[in-house]
Amino acid sequence: MRVGFIGAGRMGAPMVARLARAGHEVRALGRSAEARAAVAETGAVPVSTAAEAISGADAVVLCVFTDDQVREICSAESFGSATVIVHTTGNPETVGAVAARGVRVVDAPVSGGPHDIARGSLTVFLGGAEADAAVAREVLSAYAAPILHVGPLGAGQRVKLVNNALFAAQIGLVADAVRFGSELGLPEEALLAALPHASGNSRALAGIAAKGSVAEFRSSVGEFLRKDITVARALADALGADLGLLATPLDAGVAQP
């Protein structure tokens, strides 16, 4: 399959490498000579414009940071019959606006990091029509498992936003647990060495323990998580949805380190 790729950065570069290794013909955008050299190292064909990446593609992957970037690319480019796969976590209305232009699109936010992509075990929450999801699966299977088709267009974003709200709340709970432990005379490093082996363990706690402290973990995920939680809060406000018990630890989880 011919795949156009826009956003070959920290997450995108290993995706491009896995796609090329799986036998797809990949054209990936690199806006600078240095970026194009990095793309070439993955085995993909480097191009200097989004239009070149998209031209003749069966599928186009967008792995950019914000909703605004998705909207800018999708308003400026023509995708023809290609299926657009949006990895960016954002407001479900963004992919709806893209679809309203007659573009075949799926939302495909992810859970995991570059190490998961490298071993083909990235989790993807896929939203969209069945036919479009089937095309997306052919692409995503190069670097993702499981690929969870969770509903119509926008459903993937909604699942990811709920996931990140829960994850942020768990970070907040760990931060409070560390504070409580300190009041009991327990150093943070002792707690983080012990708790991952017990019933209180979670993905958030394991990540914090691996980094060595709550502050260090917040520093590593904060930029991405705060962006996503801002979107989740805005969506909740717009729909009149209640975050309930998530609200307080969520705020603590995304607090500036």
Per-residue pLDDT of 221-239, as tens digits, reads 988 899 999 999 999 999 9
pLDDT in tens, 150-189: 999 999 999 999 999 999 999 999 999 999 999 999 999 9
Q: How far apart are CA 72 and CA 66, in angstroms?
A: 10
Q: What is the pLDDT of residue 223?
A: 86
Q: What is the pLDDT of residue 242?
A: 92
Q: What is the pLDDT of residue 76?
A: 93
Choose the weakest-confidence range: 2-6, 49-53, 131-135, 222-226. Answer: 222-226
Q: Which of 22, 41, 23, 18 is nearest to 120 (CA)?
A: 18
**Could you give all domains of the chain from N- to C-terminal order, each with its CATH number?**
2-153 (3.40.50.720), 158-253 (1.10.1040)
DSSP 3-state of 125: strand
The structure's pTM equals: 0.93
Q: What is the pLDDT of residue 252?
A: 86
DSSP 3-state of 245: helix
